[in-house]
Amino acid sequence: MNSGKVTGHRKLWTPHQVSKRFVTALEPAISPVAGHKDRCHIIIFCGAGFAKAWSLRSPLSKDLFGVPTTAFKKSESLYRLLEYLSKGDSGYLTQDDFKELASFLDLCAHHPFLLGNLMDQYSPRRLQVELAHVIKEHFREIHYINDLNAPTGHLPVKSKKSPHRKPMIQFLSELLHDHCEFTPDHSGVELCFVTTNYDYSVESWLQESTQEPILDTLYRGFTPTHIHGEENSQYLMDRPYGLKLFKLNGGFEISENSAGFAIDYRSSVTNPIMILPSNYQGYGAEYFRCVLDKAAVAFRRADLVLFVGYSFPPEDVLIRRLIWLLVEDQRPRRTKKIICINQKGSQAVKERLREIFGSATLDITTSKLEFQKFCEGCNHYFSKIREGRPI
């Protein structure tokens, strides 16, 4: 485990010390004995490793994008395309095969002159939508998608009392206890969630930590035209400092219509907006422009960013640039803090952060640590603060 500025030295930290660094950064905003509490803007950035921490069965990318060719047979056009690319008889697409297919469609969508007699200029976009639906249904088959229970307004959560989730739920409950929503001068913390995942793991975590339906109140970076099939008449945020969730790669529940975008956590979405792995990833669609614009504001304002299970892969060029905006805030303030929890290895993550930030002055802690262990440590220090004891 290493800590220091991007240009800084190395130091070993125990798991509890990593947790203490996180809670210490929050103490001025949440301590009941503070004479004048500060406000702390926090981003919790959830990568694939977070989904794995929440649900041990959550698929890795090689499993999600490794797809049997039979999954494509529901789309006659997609299956014909596989045959055209000489992949229809393989029986199985590896992650690299899938990336080649997605790259071909991206390339054709941006350069229609490559289409020849196979497709017209509208075909690639339609096939991309069908390809996203294939991945959604493949995820459902190899894992599960906890579609909305409409009567309760909740997402069903399997193994609610699973011991590995308990510290995660308590950790977020502690943060939500001090979340401020309505007034710009209120002390406490302002939470923003950012994720590269398509699934509902972040929403489920929030729901289980609040014990309330939260899907209709999360600000998503855009105003949905419809929510769960019902027309949305609220065009202004009634909770301007409410919880925010920005899905950078799209999600199973997000779809596009003639008037904008809809959110539907039921199983009915067949045209989900999703960025698929490709050599020509394009974030130019209107949904991504909306969400990235709001996420950029959040990164510029952030005081503390907690990265969970995200390894800053070099191919995520745009997302890495988005993260770089942490250093663009020109307001005088204390050094921004970054804590990275990732089981892939702290030194590798630190090297990638150095690539992103260069010589910028940031207080960075990287840790090869289970997220549950990090949460347990934080919960220990949260209890001390609640009791007015020094940590």
Angstrom CA distances, 58 to 186, 244, 361, stand at 38, 23, 36
- SS3 assignment, position 239: coil
- Pick 61 or 31 by higher pLDDT: 61
* Mean pLDDT score, 235-258: 85
| Of 47-56, 145-154, 373-382, the least confident | 145-154
Looking at every residue in the chain, the average pLDDT score rounds to 87
Pairing state of beta strands 188-195 and 304-308? Answer: unpaired
* Cα R_g (the chain), whole angstroms: 22
| Cβ atoms within 10 Å, residue 226 | 16
* pTM of this structure: 0.92
Predicted confidence at residue 153, as pLDDT, reads 87
Fold assignment, 2-58+150-386: Rossmann fold (3.40.50)
319 band by pLDDT with thresholds 50, 70 and 90: very high
Phi/psi of residue 242, each to 5°?
-75, 180
Residue 350 burial by Cβ neighbours in a 10 Å radius (0-12, 13-18, 19+): buried
CA nearest neighbour of 242 among 234, 250, 232, 254: 234
Predicted confidence at residue 335, as pLDDT, reads 79
Pairing state of beta strands 250-257 and 260-263? Answer: antiparallel
Angstrom distance (rounded) from CA 190 to CA 216: 18
- SS3 assignment, position 325: helix
| % the chain with pLDDT above 90 | 58
| CA 342 to mean position of chain CA atoms | 14
What digits encode the pLDDT tens for the residues 170-221?
A: 999 999 987 765 455 566 788 999 999 999 999 999 999 988 888 888 999 9
Angstrom CA distances, 235 to 225, 228, 259, stand at 9, 16, 13
Angstrom distance (rounded) from CA 370 to CA 123: 44
Residue 7, pLDDT above cutoff 70: no
Residue 2, pLDDT above cutoff 60: no
CA nearest neighbour of 192 among 298, 333, 63: 298
| CA 128 to mean position of chain CA atoms | 21
- CB contact at 8 A, 181 and 127: no
Strand pairing partners for 4?
A: 364
What digits encode the pLDDT tens for the residues 10-51?
A: 455 778 899 999 999 988 888 776 555 678 899 999 999 999
Angstrom distance (rounded) from CA 177 to CA 200: 22
Domain boundaries, given as residue ranges, for the chain: 2-58+150-386, 61-142
| Cβ atoms within 10 Å, residue 149 | 13
DSSP state of 338: E
Angstrom distance (rounded) from CA 265 to CA 189: 28
